Structure 1
Amino acid sequence: MFSNHSDGNKLRESQATTVPAKSGLTIGSGNYIVTVGLGTPKTDQKLIFDTGSDLTWAQCEPCAGHCYSQVDPIFDPSKSTSYTNISCPTPLCSQLTSAIGGPQQCFNSKCLYRVRYGDNSSTTGYLSKERLTIISDVVDNFIFGCGQDNEGLFEGIAGLLGLGRGQVSLVQQAAQRYNKFFSYCLPSTTSLTGYLTLGKGNEVSSSIKFTPMLTLSQQPSFYGLNLIGISVGGQRLSIPASVFSTAGTIIDSGTVITRLPPTAYNALRTTFRQMMRNYPMISSSSSLFDTCYDLSKSQSVSIPKISFFFGGDVSVDLDKVGILYNLRRTEACLAFAGNRDPSSITIFGNEQQKGLEVVYDVVGQRIGFRPGGCS
């Protein structure tokens, strides 16, 4: 399934491939983007890398339903010599569609997929096999979605790179090559570049603190964490551990703002507001945020430190850029949101992961964090 053009069979265990990761804000997305090659000859595609979903997809000509506008030309499978459709009805189609969470559906003997995301964005198209090129690594017969009808918050981007734990994700499809190990650092500003590294490379740094990777029984393809507490300005919030265990927690590079159980969010907000009482609070221009400030006239701003505590005695200090979200020059908001329902899943989003090296060791069942990870 996997080949590497430069080395033939001489691949060493320690090899890893690193792709530059950029903030999507320059093209209107709060997510993070890597460029990969699709097809033969390869065409570059800018994809959001998403640990909260499995299927990789890209918008495809002829866009039979709807394609939104994207920066690069839309992928045209008719111009690739390595593209093949997965036929339908077949056991493979049935297996793949059930892995994505739907029944087998055929159109003109081709295997259809449909995925709807938490924010109601969606993509529908054909399940297909194609050559995927990541820097100089080549994954042949990579299963992906050739999106014919795509809508939602994807403007500018060609599609999505699925890094979840399910069988159609890149992590599983290229397991023999990368041993289900990857890491990334999300840059804190649009001018900086972070990275997505597939594979382990050399020794894992001793400064990385690991917490157990949990599996949520309802949604096993997510990466679960045992979040046990939060502190603001060095003060541990009095939130019962059951508040987090009731909901369950996942880490998701494809969700922007961290979502907390209502009890936890209220405690965080109350303490944060108290510590920020010297700055003028304003009403928010966004329905997602409720604690916003105009800091444009303040000479120096002292933002309270926020730390998350995970199982295995791991504490993660958030980068200060991940505490306030700048909606505009005169409006900076506490970059967290409360779930309405206490049983809704807690999501550790990408805004709070900025500047950290985050390591996913699926075989070792652990997730690691290291501050100052992009440098």
Structure 2
Amino acid sequence: MGTKSQRMIALAAFFFLGLLAIFPPGCLSDANQPFLMNKMSTHPMGSSRFGSSVVFPVQGNVYPIGYYSVNVNIGHPPKQFDLDIDTGSDLTWVQCDAPCTGCTKPRDRLYKPSNNVVYCGDPSCAAMHSLGKPHCKNPKEQCDYEVTYADQGSSIGVLVKDDFPLQFTNGSAIAPSLAFGCGYNQKYNGPHSPPSTAGVLGLGNGKANIVSQLHDKGLTRDVVGHCLSGRGGGFLFFGDDLVPSSGIVWTPISRNSAENHYSSGPAELLFGGKSTGVKGLLVVFDSGSSYTYFNSQAYQAVVNLIKKELTGKPLKDAADDKSLSICWKGKKPFKSVGDVKNFFKPIVVSFTNAKNVQLHLPPEAYLIVTKYGNVCLGILNGAEVGLGNLNIIGDISLQDKMVIYDNEKQQIGWTPANCDRLPNVDRDYNEGFSQPSAANYGFSAAIYAS
């Protein structure tokens, strides 16, 4: 919500507001019901359950755009929506013509619901609520939602179901019916303008996310991964076809949080290979945050150590650059982090729940160069934005790594990777699939199945 350069983890709270979010009578029809070309009683992927993956090209960057997004087709006939990639929340929603308040897209780019509202008795409604029970007096009421993010932006709407045409890595083209939010009341707070995307692709660690729904239908493994390029772009994938068989560092997902976050810990913070004395950190991996946020203790330790390290170096405070909280300028403008990285030391998040599990953050993973040619610290103080003791690993620190969220094995993994090239499964992973990855969203062969 808001420009993602200042958007943090979605501390999502779902409230089902039956009396506050009623669609206008007569706005629904049969025109948008899932179209079945072939209603199958068995899993449409054939005899092998969980046999394939879906790959999406990614657009965007940390700076200056402030977010990464993918294009997703929804409906029959399909309509394309650009969605923010957010592993910090698990509700997917799109701006909705019902009508819409606070929508940023023109009306012809909004999603039009058509007699496809999800009702409170549907399991999809229960999956959205953290306790598994929707707040509805009557199971025949529509399933309303409200999601609020850490920057106090929000979306209010109703849960709907529609077709998501997808091209799988084994060549199958299928359009399963999936539940998502139709957001007709959006609010954007903070100093930045609203995002240009049509909504949010929620991929958090919960049953409401799109990948969990695909898994429940037997279409793919409950695994999400992304590879975000530091030069912009990258790719996102559902399923485990692209997960390397070796070379990945894994840490277990903590289950001590009521929210559906990809969290792990405890972790210790190292700077320049030495301990900072900061330990016991709870770390959340969140592609919905452009920058990394440390709690007050960890943030202050890093800032003090960096400033000490810069003593005597040809860098001065750039207080007039408001791009981020702390910026420095050189004798002449910098063109890239490569021009200045030798003045900074690497940071390491060392997870103490497993041996040799470390997330390495070289200067490229915590610095940006602004349009003014200054270098700024992409680690921010989480206490200043209400994150309390949480520590958020955002996009800036996830770049040029393949990051995997395995919801089946409840673990998070990462490995250095070239994120500039959309992978070809046959070429790169030698799995013998008949077609390359799903960069082509064709519909002529799609099977529409509920």
Q: What is the TM-score with the length of structure 2 in the denominator?
A: 0.71
User: Which secondary structure does the structure 1 equivalent of 2:176 belong to?
Assistant: strand
- Pairwise mapping of residues 233-244 of structure 1 onto structure 2 (< 5 A)? 233-239=272-278, 241-242=279-280, 244=281
Are 2:314 and 1:256 equivalent residues in the alignment? Answer: no
Are 2:364 and 1:321 equivalent residues in the alignment? Answer: yes
- Pairwise mapping of residues 41-56 of structure 1 onto structure 2 (< 5 A)? 41-56=77-92
- Corresponding residue number in structure 2 for 1:15: 52
Identity %: 25
Offset of residue 103 of structure 1: 3.2
In the alignment, the residues of structure 2 paired with residue 116 and residue 363 of structure 1 have an alpha-carbon distance, to the nearest angstrom, of: 27
Are 2:378 and 1:346 equivalent residues in the alignment? Answer: no
Are 2:95 and 1:59 equivalent residues in the alignment? Answer: yes
Following TM superposition, where does structure 1 have runs of at least 4 consecutive aligned residues deviating by more than 6 angstroms?
Answer: none
Offset of residue 162 of structure 1: 1.1
Offset of residue 181 of structure 1: 1.3
Are 2:153 and 1:121 equivalent residues in the alignment? Answer: yes
Aligned match of 2:116 in 77, 84, 95? Answer: 84
Contact 1:51–1:164, Cα closer than 8 Å, also in 2: yes
In the alignment, the residues of structure 1 paired with residue 96 and residue 319 of structure 2 have an alpha-carbon distance, to the nearest angstrom, of: 42
1:356–1:71 CA distance, 2 compared to 1 (3 A):
farther
Q: What is the TM-score with the length of structure 1 in the denominator?
A: 0.84
- Corresponding residue number in structure 2 for 1:151: 187
In the alignment, the residues of structure 1 paired with residue 119 and residue 95 of structure 2 have an alpha-carbon distance, to the nearest angstrom, of: 19
1:297–1:222 CA distance, 2 compared to 1 (3 A):
same
- Corresponding residue number in structure 2 for 1:74: 110
User: Which secondary structure does the structure 2 equivalent of 1:329 belong to?
Assistant: coil
Counterpart residue type for residue 166 of structure 1: G
Are 2:240 and 1:200 equivalent residues in the alignment? Answer: yes
User: Which secondary structure does the structure 1 equivalent of 2:246 belong to?
Assistant: coil
1:30–1:87 CA distance, 2 compared to 1 (3 A):
same
Q: What are structure 2's unaligned runs of at least 5 residues?
A: 1-33, 39-43, 421-450
> Could you give the per-residue CA deviations for residues 214-241 of structure 1, whole angstroms, max 9, x where no partner exists?
123332x1111115222233333222x2
> Could you give the per-residue CA deviations for residues 39-60 of structure 1, whole angstroms, max 9, x where no partner exists?
0011111111111111110011
Greater Rg over alpha carbons, structure: 2
User: Which secondary structure does the structure 1 equivalent of 2:126 belong to?
Assistant: helix
1:94–1:331 CA distance, 2 compared to 1 (3 A):
same
1:14–1:8 CA distance, 2 compared to 1 (3 A):
closer
- Corresponding residue number in structure 2 for 1:104: 136
- Corresponding residue number in structure 2 for 1:186: 228
In the alignment, the residues of structure 2 paired with residue 364 and residue 10 of structure 1 have an alpha-carbon distance, to the nearest angstrom, of: 23
In the alignment, the residues of structure 2 paired with residue 189 and residue 72 of structure 1 have an alpha-carbon distance, to the nearest angstrom, of: 32
In the alignment, the residues of structure 2 paired with residue 203 and residue 287 of structure 1 have an alpha-carbon distance, to the nearest angstrom, of: 36
Q: How many residues align?
A: 357
Q: RCO greater where, 1 or 2, for CA within 8 Å and sep 6 or more?
A: 2
1:260–1:174 CA distance, 2 compared to 1 (3 A):
same
Contact 1:19–1:196, Cα closer than 8 Å, also in 2: yes
Cα RMSD, aligned residues only: 3.2
In the alignment, the residues of structure 2 paired with residue 287 and residue 338 of structure 1 have an alpha-carbon distance, to the nearest angstrom, of: 15
Counterpart residue type for residue 345 of structure 1: L
Contact 1:98–1:104, Cα closer than 8 Å, also in 2: no
Counterpart residue type for residue 366 of structure 2: I
